[in-house]
Chains A and B, each alone.
Chain A
Amino acid sequence: MPRIQTIAIIVSLLFLGYVIKLILKGKLRVEYSIFWIVTTAVLSIFSFWRDGFEKIAEFVGVYEAPNLIFTIAIFAIFVYLIHLSKVVSKLHEQNKTLIQELTLLSEKIKNEKVDKSN
């Protein structure tokens, strides 16, 4: 087994372990954990099964297997980043609404206190 494969296996298993730890501690929401479990699982599979990527590359017609890896990885990262931007935008809106509601409510409470003391 070449040294790089040993390193790849160790790294992807460590990564998998870290993701599982995060999930068990409740620090990742379930919907995100699915993405990360699949990602780390795929990484682990291909670090054990080295020929796998060559075979897939040949099957889809890519001459150099590393090109296929880059294409797929970059595309997946882009999709995920857009998804995260969407999540952040939604959180931003919800956060704004919450602060506004909080402000209006505390004004109301302050007002009622003044009314009672008069």
Chain B
Amino acid sequence: MKRAAIIIPAYNESENIRDVVSSIHEISCAYKLVPIVINDCSLDNTGEIIDELDCVSLQLSINLGIGGAVQTGYKYAFNNDFDFAIQFDGDGQHPAESIPNLIESCESGNDVVIGSRYISKEGFQSTYLRRLGINYFKILNKILIKLTITDNTSGFRLLNRKAISLVNDYYPDDYPEPEAIVLYAKSGLRVVEIPVLMKERTAGVSSISASDSVYYIIKVTLAILFTYFRTKNNNA
């Protein structure tokens, strides 16, 4: 049976994390799904909660931020020979029911599968400001990698073995999602998007506040350009 690591980065998610982990156990599919929760040095008792849950608990002793935390999960998946790694938010926004769809899409020949809320335009569509930013990244990434990705900031994505070994070596730090897509496409991986239905977060606060968004746009743009020029072209 093929195994999929469900990588769940969690920072102060004590209110959501139980439900998120159990939502994964409720999914029945032909693959073994293993939740791997990375506690990014939370200030609340997320760490204690995940130690008791039915999941692999990875406790970071220093706060690394989303990129470093997610990469820890990918490294775990790489070291333990998982066939797939699926990044999944710890706040309950992502629909666990869509996990089998992501795996199916991967099995049909894709290396990276991104769950997008903007293909069918149903479910939680996020705030106006955030959609503006997402449209900007859509255009930027379309120019650079000639791929239309409608939801560049989506943290709901599947990586196959080939992609896992890539991020085992390098994964962006702070706001990794849009930049990682450029990395995958430039490294010659097949990246696709499939529609998913996202929910509004049930508790807790998002990692990006409005005041950070200008800095976010500038920093990610630079990071995308650096990655674009640094990554060797493997499109052949």
Contact = CB atoms under 8 A, between A and B. Distances in A.
B5 to A, nearest CB: 13
B90 to A, nearest CB: 16
B64 interface: yes
Interface in B56-113: 56-62, 64, 68, 71-72, 75-76, 79
B79 A100 contact: no
Contacts of A102: 61
Contacts, number: 33
B66 to A, nearest CB: 12
Interface string A94-116: 01100110111011000000000
A107 B173 CA distance: 22
A107 B62 contact: no
A104 B72 contact: yes
The DSSP consensus for interface residues of chain A is helix
A104 B79 contact: yes
Interface residues of A, number: 9
A72 B109 CA distance: 59
Given A104-B72, A104-B79, A107-B76, A99 B64 contact: yes
Contacts of A107: 56-59, 76
A99 B75 CA distance: 12
B59 A106 contact: yes
Contacts of B38: 103
Nearest to A106: B59
Interface string B213-233: 000000000000000000000
Interface of A: 95-96, 99-100, 102-104, 106-107
Given A102-B61, A107-B76, 18 more contacts: A95-B62, A96-B173, A99-B60, A99-B61, A99-B64, A99-B68, A100-B60, A100-B64, A100-B68, A100-B71, A103-B38, A103-B59, A103-B60, A104-B58, A104-B76, A104-B79, A107-B56, A107-B57
